Amino acid sequence: MYYYEKDYIMRLIHGIARTLARILFGKDEENGEEIAAVMSRAVHEKDDYFRRMIDAGDINKAEDRLFEMIESSAWAEKEMAALVLSFYDHANSKPDEFLAAAGFSREEIISGLTDAMKALGMEIPEYLRI
């Protein structure tokens, strides 16, 4: 895959996350803070935890824990959706080489985001799917 194709896919995934945030949270902030704006302190702390795991290359393990949280968390649906969107947007910000070394791919980001939102009872609209 050529660089411009990879960059295009990265931008599409980021665009999906931001668009879903706008739809779900009614936020339209220029600096991309739609997702963080709806997080409680506890969700921010968990988001930081997942970001550290992603940054360390433990993306698969972090994703497993994210899905465990989706199944067992008592957090509000919008807070869990914010955590999911932040998780996959952050993973998407990593270069392909980093993702490959972590055993993760852009395709897994897309399918994980879709599956996580579905687990929350929120389908990604057809027009946003890649």
Cα torsion for 43, 126, 9, 68, to the nearest 10°?
Answer: 30
Whether pTM > 0.85 for this model: the answer is no
Q: List, for residues 59-118, the tens digit of each pLDDT value.
A: 999 999 999 999 997 888 888 888 998 899 899 999 989 999 999 998 899 889 889 988
Q: What is the pLDDT of residue 31?
A: 46
In angstroms, the CA 56 to CA 59 distance is 8
> Total domain count for the chain?
1
Locate tokens 């985001």: which residue?
Answer: 113
Q: Is 88 exposed, middle or buried (0-12, 13-18, 19+ CB in 10 A)?
A: buried
Instruction: Please tell me the number of Cα atoms within 13 Å of 6 on its side-chain side.
Output: 12
Look at residue 74 in the predicted model and tell me its pLDDT.
Answer: 81
**Domain hosting residue 49, numbered range:** 3-128
